[in-house]
Copies of this chain bind each other. A is one copy, B any other.
Amino acid sequence: MKNALIVGATGFGGLGLIEILLRHPGITIQQLIARRDVGMRINEVFPHLTGFCELPVQGTDEINFSDIDIAFFSTPDRAGMTLIEKFIAKSIPVIDFSGDFRFNSTDDYAVYAHNKGMETTHHAPSTLPASVYGLPELYSEKIRHARIVGNPGCFAICMILGLLPAVKEKLIDADTIVCDGKTGVSGAGKNPGEANFYPQRYEDVNTYREGKHQHLVEVENVLQSVGGNHKIFFVPHIVPLNRGILVTAYGKARKGIRTKDVEEIYRQFYKDAPFILIVNRSPHTTDVRGSNRCEIRAMVDERTGMLFITSTIDNLVKGQSGNAVQCANLMLGFDETAGLLVPPFYP
């Protein structure tokens, strides 16, 4: 058994990790660390965990570095970059959930940070060149040998997985890509605020950060790495869903290409990806809720010549903790799917 440490255990990211690791055949949760709720047991924070996980929540200064095989930083932006040094010193591999290690240059980080309205200086710049973007569908080899993995943003991973084959195989006009995203409310995290205020959200749809969402940097970086020089226009929407992201991406299709070709290319591209499901019906967020699956449909509309791709994930699983465990599996030598083969939760 390998031992895992979770920093940021009392947020939705930490909770997601706990739930997955409880059923993982090869990883044990060793210690739960957080800033809030220190001194409580985790099942006092999340009563549904009673009987399943009752570990104490400990403070950052109580981290026990011995016997840790992997650390998950399910922490807000800019927390990981101050914690990382001690983990490097102890040779503990780290998977971080924020934007801190998603970029190989301080410049890219600065754009990300700026779009999110944060300070733009990175405090551990020397870690960036070797950090790996946690996208197992593209970078599994790099992840296997990584010491620091930046777990992707939830919207980013949904957009990237949807667009990758189209961009790589040049099925889509680089100059016309638009992504229209819909996210559930849980994406705003565990702190009560306007973004998750029930009387507003139970019956509201709206756009936000139009064209300026911080995940765009990640998306464009990855697409560029497969040959596209795309500038993507992305408009996220909040819908009255708790869990789930669904993105519909649009762009002019390469002349002459047809749906059956596109589908075949998608199936081929993802033939070894255990969590990607290519479908030829309308994707639903309920097809993936609670699971690590990403469901994708790609089609050509012959009337208008548009290629459109719909991809959907559970923002808290493939968009967060599930993808992180998938990366951890690669890093620790487990089967990529260990602990993750659970059907979606329905209804």
**Which residues from chain A sit less than 8 Å from chain B, CB to CB?**
12, 15, 19, 22-23, 46-53, 176, 178, 180, 182, 185-186, 190, 192-194, 196-208, 210-211, 231-233, 235, 237, 239-244, 246, 248, 250, 252, 277, 279, 281-291, 293, 299, 301, 303-304, 306, 308, 310, 312, 341-347
**Contact A205 B285, beta carbon cutoff 8 Å:** yes
Contact partner, A199, options B196, B277, B306, Cβ 8 Å: B196
The 3 closest A-B pairs by CB, nearest first: A48-B344, A199-B347, A180-B180
Given A198-B198, A232-B304, A242-B198, decide whether A206 and B282 contact each other with a Cβ distance below 8 A. Answer: yes
Whether B304 lies near A248 (C-beta < 8 A) is no
Query: Which residues of B are found within 8 Å of A235, using beta-carbon distances?
Result: 248, 250, 308, 310
Interface centre among A205, A250, A277, A293 (most CB of B within 10 A): A205
Given contacts A47-B287, A200-B347, contact A239 B242 (CB under 8 A): no
A207-B283, A242-B347, A244-B205 are known contacts. Are A182 and B237 too (CB-CB below 8 A)? yes
Give the nearest-CB partner of A301 in chain B: B211
Q: How far is the CA of A310 from the CA of B244 in the complex (A)?
A: 22
Q: Shortest CB–CB separation between residue A276 and chain B, in angstroms?
A: 11
Nearest CB of B to A303, in Å: 6
Contact of A197 among B182, B192, B232 (CB under 8 A): B192
**Neighbouring B residues of A277 by C-beta, 8 Å:** 50-51
A274 CA to B330 CA in the complex, in Å?
36
How far is B289's CA from A56's CA once the two chains are assembled, in angstroms?
Answer: 23
Q: Note all chain B residues with C-beta closer than 8 A to A51.
A: 277, 293
B48 near A308: Cβ-Cβ < 8 Å: no
What residues on B are CB-neighbors of A232 within 8 Å?
304
CB distance from A255 to the nearest CB of B (A): 13
Show 12 A/B contacts (Cβ-Cβ < 8 Å), sorted by A: A48-B344, A180-B248, A185-B202, A186-B198, A192-B194, A204-B284, A204-B285, A205-B244, A210-B282, A231-B304, A240-B241, A290-B345
